[in-house]
């Protein structure tokens, strides 16, 4: 079907650039980004050296959660354009050598979806069991203690059916019932619809939320010492439960096998979002192993609020040693749901560079979120500018996700950063204008060029894209490992601290590489002195 794709494993080691369409480029002057705006900027995306573009939802939606509440899975919302515009996007991306992955939100729909509108009317219509419905307890309260990620109970009352329906997110996002075979069949049919239009794969939203416990058992409490704010802010009591029944069910694996079979027919790939604060790594390994489920998943370990130290990274990979090594992670520092990592981890420019280089040397694939290659900080928005219902609910202790969703800045000498000719749906921070693509292109020291160099370095070494990885070790502030390919081994060490550090190359004959990435030299004895936030990259070839 897509003859230009020669490698069925194109996804393995791929770097995926995430586009949040509302905020990427407005082509028609209404203040909201759209599909033709993405087409306009695809040459820039290709110039970075990435392999694929992931486009967040553009389907028909009431936009209660800005596209993650779908009311028609087979059409484009008019604010983003038309199906014809999407076809143009596919053609333009492929002409530039870019794969296209689209964001499928399968765990829930909008309450405006015709399926839910029918399901809510009665208990005996054709769509009656397409959503998760349950009777109240004898005292009229919700069926169990499950909580919504967005705050409050995960159940909403419907007076027509005299039942509660499950919503793991907003009340306007009812959960689909994957225990119903017709639901699964329809969702697989939707995947085929977009594959037939030429997409190369999918990002699967909340992949571990698809199936809930059929018995609707209560979640147990999570001890205070185990709580963290990786998935939800600390002020949200969602963190107070161990979510063993509301998500992560074993039946999910059977659906993922069906989804993989559809993808394999088209040589397509999927990357799943694993939202779990305690078991994210384990679920990632489970969902991507065996070659019969999704190809990639990203856990939240590198999306965490606190900067990962060398020991944090070593501990993360130690946990993965318990699993067979056929799993495949997709690492990311930032996306549309978290504070931009430059701000979240309070990174200086040298620190940001070394973390970027490290991301692109880890075993797995990687995601880059629009604007991170410009070093964009989190925008600090006024309450009256907020759009995100999550932030509005928990303001001011949690300001929501709007700060990472402000428009991309293309030009410096333009009030709206070249994003639009009209006031954008979120404001463009004045400080972002000095981080525009226009300025970055003309500044050789800008981090944009570091991203390009790091991406080119990754592409030039098969060991980094598809090779194995040794044990990850922490030596003080230095985290180090080797990557092995068929004909080369690459030693990678990163000083994740503000003070000088030292390490030693493994035994063997090593050649320094990566000078363009500020890689340190080893002395004649293989000893390496690393400056603050400096890496060491060295190559050993066979023969």
Q: How crowded is the C-beta side of 106, counted as CA atoms within 13 Å?
A: 28
pLDDT in the model for residue 4: 46
pTM over 0.75: yes
Segment 461-471, tens digit of pLDDT: 999 999 999 99
Please indicate, yes or no, whether residues 78 and 102 belong to a single structural domain of this protein: yes
Tally Cβ neighbours within 10 Å of residue 506.
Answer: 13
Residues 6 or more apart whose CB falls under 8 angstroms from that of 329 comprise 284, 288, 296, 297, 298, 299, 362, 363, 364, 365
Please indicate, yes or no, whether residues 380 and 512 belong to a single structural domain of this protein: no
Which residue range is the domain that position 376 belongs to? 15-108+181-458
* CA-based nearest residue to 333, from 321, 345, 318, 351: 345
Token pair listed for 510 = 């090593």
Please indicate, yes or no, whether residues 480 and 402 belong to a single structural domain of this protein: no
Segment 245-289, tens digit of pLDDT: 999 999 999 999 999 999 999 999 999 999 999 999 999 999 999
Among 433, 458, 483, give the residue marking a domain's end. 458
Q: For 77-153, where are the E strands, in sequence order?
A: 99-104, 133-134
Token pair listed for 495 = 């000083």
Please indicate, yes or no, whether residues 318 and 425 belong to a single structural domain of this protein: yes
Segment 140-158, tens digit of pLDDT: 999 999 999 999 999 999 9
Overall size of the chain counted in residues: 543
Mean pLDDT for 305-313 is 97
Tally Cβ neighbours within 10 Å of residue 317.
Answer: 20
Please indicate, yes or no, whether residues 198 and 275 belong to a single structural domain of this protein: yes
Residue 457 host element (H or E): helix 447-459
CATH number (domain holding residue 352): 3.20.20.80
Among 407, 439, 458, give the residue marking a domain's end. 458
Please indicate, yes or no, whether residues 435 and 482 belong to a single structural domain of this protein: no
How many domains is the chain built from?
2
Give the C-alpha distances (Å, rounded to integers) separating 108 from 17, 90, 299, 311, 462: 25, 26, 20, 37, 39
Segment 79-110, tens digit of pLDDT: 999 999 999 999 999 999 999 999 999 999 99
Mean pLDDT for 111-120 is 98
Catalytic residues: 205, 265
Q: Position of tokens 């979806």?
A: 113
Cis geometry, peptide bond prior to residue 396 (ω within 30 degrees of 0): yes
Confidence of residue 543 (pLDDT cuts 50, 70, 90): low
Question: Burial code of 272-310, b = ≥16 C-beta within 10 A, e = fewer?
Answer: bbbbbbbbbbbbbbbbbeeeebbbbbbbbbbbbeeebeb
Q: How crowded is the C-beta side of 252, counted as CA atoms within 13 Å?
A: 24
pLDDT in the model for residue 201: 97
For residue 93, tell me if it sits in a domain.
yes
Least confident of 27-36, 228-237, 334-343, 421-430: 228-237
Distance, in Å, from the CA atom of 115 to the CA atom of 128, rounded to the nearest integer, reads: 9
Please indicate, yes or no, whether residues 387 and 483 belong to a single structural domain of this protein: no
CATH number (domain holding residue 517): 2.60.40.1180
Mean pLDDT for 313-327 is 94
Among 431, 458, 485, give the residue marking a domain's end. 458
Tally Cβ neighbours within 10 Å of residue 40.
Answer: 16
Q: How crowded is the C-beta side of 403, counted as CA atoms within 13 Å?
A: 23
pLDDT over threshold 90, residue 8: no
Please indicate, yes or no, whether residues 448 and 518 belong to a single structural domain of this protein: no
For residue 411, tell me if it sits in a domain.
yes
Distance, in Å, from the CA atom of 102 to the CA atom of 365, rounded to the nearest integer, reads: 16
Dihedral, CA atoms, 525, 526, 527, 532, nearest 10 degrees? Answer: 150
Residue 355 host element (H or E): helix 349-359
Confidence of residue 310 (pLDDT cuts 50, 70, 90): very high
For residue 127, tell me if it sits in a domain.
no
Please indicate, yes or no, whether residues 92 and 216 belong to a single structural domain of this protein: yes
Segment 184-233, tens digit of pLDDT: 999 999 999 999 999 999 999 999 999 999 999 999 999 999 998 888 88
For residue 162, tell me if it sits in a domain.
no
* CA-based nearest residue to 181, from 254, 248, 123: 254
Confidence of residue 6 (pLDDT cuts 50, 70, 90): very low
Pairing relationship of beta strands 473-475 and 535-541 according to DSSP bridges: unpaired
For residue 176, tell me if it sits in a domain.
no
pLDDT over threshold 70, residue 439: yes
**Backbone torsions φ then ψ of 341, nearest 5 degrees:** -70, -25
Please indicate, yes or no, whether residues 418 and 515 belong to a single structural domain of this protein: no
Please indicate, yes or no, whether residues 335 and 453 belong to a single structural domain of this protein: yes
pLDDT in the model for residue 2: 42
For residue 147, tell me if it sits in a domain.
no
* Contact (CB, 8 A) for 55 and 11: no
Segment 523-532, tens digit of pLDDT: 999 999 999 9
Q: What is the mean pLDDT of the chain?
A: 96
Mean pLDDT for 489-513 is 97
Please indicate, yes or no, whether residues 426 and 492 belong to a single structural domain of this protein: no
Q: How crowded is the C-beta side of 298, counted as CA atoms within 13 Å?
A: 25
Check residue 28 and report its DSSP letter. S
Mean pLDDT for 430-438 is 96
pLDDT in the model for residue 324: 87
For residue 163, tell me if it sits in a domain.
no
pLDDT over threshold 90, residue 28: yes
pLDDT over threshold 80, residue 1: no
Mean pLDDT for 173-182 is 98
For residue 336, tell me if it sits in a domain.
yes
DSSP 128-139: TTSB-EEPPPTT
Distance, in Å, from the CA atom of 238 to the CA atom of 146, rounded to the nearest integer, reads: 9
Pairing relationship of beta strands 99-104 and 52-55 according to DSSP bridges: parallel
């Amino acid at each position: 079907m897509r003859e230009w794709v020669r490698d069925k494993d194109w996804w393995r080691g791929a770097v995926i650039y995430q586009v949040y369409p509302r905020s990427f480029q407005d082509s028609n002057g209404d203040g909201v980004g759209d599909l033709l705006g993405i087409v306009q900027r695809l040459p820039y995306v290709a110039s970075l050296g990435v392999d694929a573009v992931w486009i967040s939802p553009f389907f028909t939606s009431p936009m209660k959660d800005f596209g993650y509440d779908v009311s028609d899975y087979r059409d484009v919302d008019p604010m983003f354009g038309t199906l014809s515009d999407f076809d143009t996007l596919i053609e333009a991306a492929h002409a530039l050598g870019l794969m296209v992955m689209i964001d499928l939100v399968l765990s829930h729909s909008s309450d405006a979806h015709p399926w839910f509108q029918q399901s809510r009317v009665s208990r005996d219509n054709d769509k009656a069991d397409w959503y998760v419905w349950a009777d109240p307890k004898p005292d009229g309260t919700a069926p169990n203690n499950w909580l919504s990620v967005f705050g409050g109970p995960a159940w909403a009352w419907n007076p027509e059916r005299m039942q509660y329906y499950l919503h793991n997110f907003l009340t306007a996002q009812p959960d689909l019932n994957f225990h119903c075979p017709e639901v699964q069949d329809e969702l697989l049919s939707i995947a085929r619809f977009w594959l037939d239009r030429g997409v190369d794969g999918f990002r699967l939203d909340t992949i571990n939320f698809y199936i809930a416990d059929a018995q609707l058992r209560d979640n147990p409490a999570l001890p205070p010492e185990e709580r963290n704010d990786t998935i939800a802010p600390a002020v949200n009591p969602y963190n107070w439960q161990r979510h063993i029944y509301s998500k992560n069910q074993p039946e999910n694996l059977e659906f993922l096998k069906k989804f993989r079979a559809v993808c394999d027919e088209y040589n397509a790939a999927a990357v799943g979002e694993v939202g779990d604060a305690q078991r994210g790594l384990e679920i990632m390994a489970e969902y991507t192993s065996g070659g019969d489920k999704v190809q990639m998943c990203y856990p939240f370990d590198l999306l965490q609020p606190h900067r990962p130290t060398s020991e944090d990274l070593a501990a993360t990979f130690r946990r993965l040693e318990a699993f067979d090594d056929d799993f495949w992670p997709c690492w990311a520092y930032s996306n549309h749901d978290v504070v931009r990592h430059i701000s979240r981890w309070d990174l200086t420019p040298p620190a940001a560079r070394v973390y970027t280089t490290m991301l692109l040397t880890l075993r797995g694939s990687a995601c880059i979120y629009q604007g991170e290659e410009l070093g964009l900080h989190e925008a600090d928005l006024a309450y009256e500018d907020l759009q995100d219902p999550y932030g509005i609910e928990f303001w001011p202790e949690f300001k929501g996700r709007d700060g990472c969703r402000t428009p991309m800045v293309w030009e410096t000498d333009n009030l709206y950063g070249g994003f639009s000719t009209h006031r954008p749906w979120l404001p463009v921070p004045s400080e972002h204008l000095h981080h525009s693509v226009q300025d970055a292109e003309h500044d050789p020291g800008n981090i944009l060029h570091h991203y390009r160099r790091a991406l080119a370095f990754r592409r030039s070494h098969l060991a980094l894209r598809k090779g194995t990885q040794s044990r990850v070790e922490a030596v003080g502030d230095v985290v180090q490992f080797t990557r092995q390919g068929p004909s080369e081994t690459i030693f990678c060490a990163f000083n994740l601290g503000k003070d000088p550090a030292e390490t030693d190359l493994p035994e063997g004959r090593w050649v320094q590489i990566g000078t363009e990435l500020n890689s340190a030299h080893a002395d004649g004895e293989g000893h390496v002195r690393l400056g603050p936030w400096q890496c060491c990259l060295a190559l050993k070839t066979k023969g």
